[in-house]
Structure 1
Amino acid sequence: MAKTERSPSLKTQNSKAIWLLVAADVVTVTLVLTGFAFTQASLTELAHSAFIRGILLAATGPLIAVFLNDLFSSDAKASIVFWRLKDVLPGHRAFSKYAEVDARIDLAALKAKVGEFPQSPRDQNATWYRLYQKHQSNVSVSDAHKRFLLFRDSASLTVLITIVTWVAGALAGIPLSLQAMLLGGLVVQFVWLALSARNTGIRFVQNVLAVEVADDGRKKK
Structure 2
Amino acid sequence: MARLSLKTQNLPMLALVIIAQVSVAYGFSNPDFSWSAIEVFSPDTVVMALIMLLAALFSSLLPASVKHQLVYFRLNNVLPGHRFMQLAAYDPRIDLLSLQHKVMALMPLNAPQEQQNRVWYQHIYQPLQHEPLIKDAHKAFLLWRDSVVVSLVIGLMLALGVIAVPVAAAVFAPNSFFVSVFFALACVLAAHHSGKRMVTNAVVTWLMLPRSNQK
TM-score of the pair, normalised by structure 1: 0.81
Correspondence for 1:204: 198
1:14-54 Cα distance to aligned partner (Å, 9 max, x none): 0010011112233334444455789xxxxxxxxxxxxx747
**How far apart are 1:133 and its partner, in Å?**
0.7
The aligned counterpart of 1:15 is 11
What letter matches 1:201 in structure 2?
G
Per the alignment, residue 104 of structure 1 pairs with 93
CA distance in structure 2 between the aligned counterparts of 1:55 and 1:168, rounded to whole angstroms: 15
Are the counterparts in 2 of residues 148 and 201 from structure 1 also a CA contact under 8 Å? yes
Specify which of 100, 114, 117 is matched with residue 122 of structure 1. Answer: 114
Q: Which runs of 5+ in 1 are unaligned?
A: 39-51
**Residue 174 of structure 2: SS of its match in structure 1?**
helix
Q: Which AA in structure 2 matches 1:164?
A: M
Q: Which amino acid aligns with 1:155?
A: V
Matches of 1:169 and 1:211 in 2, distance apart? 50
**Matched residue of 2:111: which SS?**
coil
**Aligned pair partner of 1:215 in 185, 203, 209:** 209
For residues 84-99 of structure 1, the aligned pairs below 5 Å read 84-95=74-85, 97-99=86-88
Structure 2: stretches of 5+ with no match in the other structure: 35-41
> 1:154 — aligned with what?
147
Q: Deviations over 1:94-116 (max 9, x none)?
A: 11x20110111112222232213
CA shift digits 1:69-127 (9 cap, x unpaired): 122211211111111222111111111x2011011111222223221335211111101
Give, in whole Å, the separation in 2 of the partners of 1:87 and 1:18.
26
Query: What is the number of residues matched between the two proteins?
Result: 199
1:55–1:172 CA contact under 8 A, matched in 2: no
Partners of 1:76 and 1:85 lie apart in 2 by 9
Structural mapping, 1:1-221, within 5 Å? 5-35=1-31, 53=43, 56-57=46-47, 60-95=50-85, 97-115=86-104, 116-117=108-109, 119-130=111-122, 131-170=124-163, 171-172=165-166, 174=169, 178-180=173-175, 182-217=176-211
| Counterpart contact for 1:81–1:152, Cα < 8 Å | yes
Q: Give the structure with higher Rg (CA).
A: 1
Q: For the Cα contact (< 8 Å) 1:94–1:125, is it kept in 2?
A: yes
Checking the alignment, whether the CA contact within 8 Å between 1:30 and 1:55 is kept in structure 2 is no
Shift of 1:178: 2.1
Aligned AA (2:16): L
1:85/1:185 Cα in 2 relative to 1: closer, same or farther (>3 Å)? same
Structure 1 residue 12 displacement after superposition: 0.7
CA contact (8 A) 1:118 1:124 kept: no
> Between the two proteins, what is the percent identity of the paired residues?
29
CA distance in 2, matches of 1:102, 1:136: 19
Change (3 A) 1:132 1:190: same
